[in-house]
Amino acid sequence: LFSAVQPAPPDAILGLTEQFRADPNPRKVNLGVGVYQNEQGVLPLLRSVAAAERKLAAQPQAKGYLAIDGLPTYDADVKELVFGAGSPLLADGRVVTVQALGGTGALKIGADFLRQVSPDARVLISNPSWENHQALFTRAGFTVAKYRYYDAEAKGVDVAGMLADLDAAAPGTIVVLHACCHNPTGYDLTPEQWQRVIDVVVERDLTAFLDMAYQGFSAGIEEDGAVVRAFAERVPSFFVSTSFSKSFSLYGERVGGLSIVCADADEAARVLSQVKIVIRTNYSNPPTHGAALVETVLADPELRADWVTELGEMRDRIKAMRSALVAGLADAGVTRDMSYITDQVGMFSFSGLTKEQMVRLRTEFGVYGTDTGRICVAALNEGNVGYVSASIAAVLDD
Ligand code: PLP
Ligand code: TYF
């Protein structure tokens, strides 16, 4: 049966972690995968989450099946964080939100549903994008192409190229957009540029799919959610995938959500009924614990306030590490202007290093980033930033 099965290549990013684990270099640093680590270089258990764990453990409950679309209070929380508590869309019953297995699960439910309603649509993702966007939409049955995004020369977004590519897309094309903290480049659109994207989405009748895996990591929950609200004001229907992997440091619990904006409440009810079939035929219903933790934090004003503080601490620490890296590179003798690192937002920096330089960083210095030159600045700390700076300086050879 399996004699013709070919070995598949490892995931470009998760495969790096395996390589990192096997590396005996005592100074090794993993800047490959997008995982936030604290000043001690450890994946944090947030105070608010630990408190929620205690609260839940104090009243142990049997774990029944959740509804197909998940914990209702959790879905309501996702809606509120993404669209804002006062959103008229919520009041009008136009938003369908289902609990999902992280941001990836949300994208997959959305992709499978879209394949049913728009089987012939093409999918456009940014160039470059998170690797899994291409793979996931391809596996869902779509042909995936790219729109221009990164401008390597100008170190920013090629807005004119992006708008031109979107404008050339056929009506109904599914456009995957990073709502904030673009992965891998770290360059986001300004509110004015988003309005121009929305102009094209409306004029060309494109299907926008906003992937929001890092809400709160650019400027704040409200601030980063403004993009979704801008769409909500002008675009009749679109998709938003949410992930709490990073914002609650709950990677392994697989907590996320998919929201679909519909024309009216009647349409929303029909859409929900179909999305439930997608879920049922994949995994029946989502797991209980991660959603219960997020729900417990968000429902308790004190825990919620502490979570907002902790999210701010993570955001500020990443920003401080961006500055430390720029300073460290200068100290290590790099003469070229590296200040673009502090212009970027979110967990990543597209360092501009070549594949050869990234391979040297890994093999000679044990500093792991992706071949595309992406490094996770959220894994830097005071203890390793000097070594990372010196290693990058060595391969840049200025
Ligand atoms: N979308 C983007 C842009 C991401 O960077 C990630 C990273 O993990 C995801 C989606 C997936 O999120 P999750 O880990 O919650 O599945
Ligand atoms: O881009 C990253 O590093 C994160 C984590 O298949 C990730 O988004 C990477 C690869 C993958 C799943 C998650």
- Report the C-alpha gap between 398 and 99 in whole angstroms: 49
Residue 43 has pLDDT above 90, yes or no: yes
CA of 132 to the centre of ligand 2 (A): 8
Tell me whether residue 30 is exposed, middle or buried, using C-beta atoms within 10 angstroms of its C-beta: 0 to 12, 13 to 18, 19 or more.
buried
Q: Which one has a higher pLDDT value, 90 or 398?
A: 90
Task: For residue 252, give the DSSP letter.
Answer: G
CATH superfamily of 14-45+304-396: Aspartate Aminotransferase, domain 1 (3.90.1150.10)
- List own/partner pairs for 6-12 with CB under 8 A and 24 or more apart: 11/131, 11/132, 12/131, 12/370, 12/371
CA of 18 to the centre of ligand 2 (A): 13
Task: Average the pLDDT over 104-111 and give the result.
Answer: 98
- Is 158 catalytic? The answer is no
127-138 pLDDT, tens digit each: 999 999 999 999
Sequence ranges of the domains in the chain: 14-45+304-396, 65-287
Other Cβ atoms less than 10 A from the Cβ of 44: the count is: 16
- Report the C-alpha gap between 361 and 367 in whole angstroms: 5
Compute, in degrees rounded to 10, the torsion defined by CA atoms 324, 330, 333, 337.
130
Ligand number, closest to the Cα atom of 17? 2
- Report the C-alpha gap between 195 and 192 in whole angstroms: 5
- Listed in sequence order, the residues at least 6 apart from 214 whose beta carbon sits closer than 8 Å to its beta carbon are 180, 181, 183, 224, 243, 246, 247, 346, 347
| Residues paired with 122 in a beta bridge | none
369-396 pLDDT, tens digit each: 999 999 999 999 999 999 999 999 999 9
Compute, in degrees rounded to 10, the torsion defined by CA atoms 169, 174, 175, 179.
160
CA of 107 to the centre of ligand 2 (A): 13
- Residue among 183, 210, 214, 254 whose CB has most ligand 1 atoms within 8 A, to mutate: 183
Q: What is the pLDDT of residue 14?
A: 86
List the catalytic residue out of 77, 108, 130, 188. Answer: 130
- Report the C-alpha gap between 125 and 138 in whole angstroms: 11
Is the dihedral angle over the CA atoms 16, 157, 240, 229 positive or is it negative?
positive
Q: pLDDT over 70 for what percent of the chain?
A: 100
Tokens 């490959």 belong to 32
- Ligand 1 near 84 CB (within 6 A): no
- Report the C-alpha gap between 282 and 159 in whole angstroms: 38
Q: pLDDT over 90 for what percent of the chain?
A: 97
- Ligand 1 near 130 CB (within 6 A): yes
- Report the C-alpha gap between 329 and 327 in whole angstroms: 5
- Residue among 132, 183, 249 whose CB has most ligand 2 atoms within 8 A, to mutate: 132
293-308 pLDDT, tens digit each: 999 999 999 999 999 9
**Token pair listed for 21:** 């684990």
> Whose C-alpha lies nearest to ligand 2, atom 8?
34
List the catalytic residue out of 112, 188, 246, 307. Answer: 246
Within 6 A (CB) of ligand 2 lie 11, 13-14, 33-34, 130, 132, 183
- Ligand 1 near 184 CB (within 6 A): no
- Residue among 17, 19, 33 whose CB has most ligand 2 atoms within 8 A, to mutate: 33
The model's pTM: 0.97
Same fold, 14-45+304-396 and 65-287: no
- Is 246 catalytic? The answer is yes
CATH no. for 65-287 = 3.40.640.10
Q: What is the pLDDT of residue 398?
A: 59
- Is 307 catalytic? The answer is no
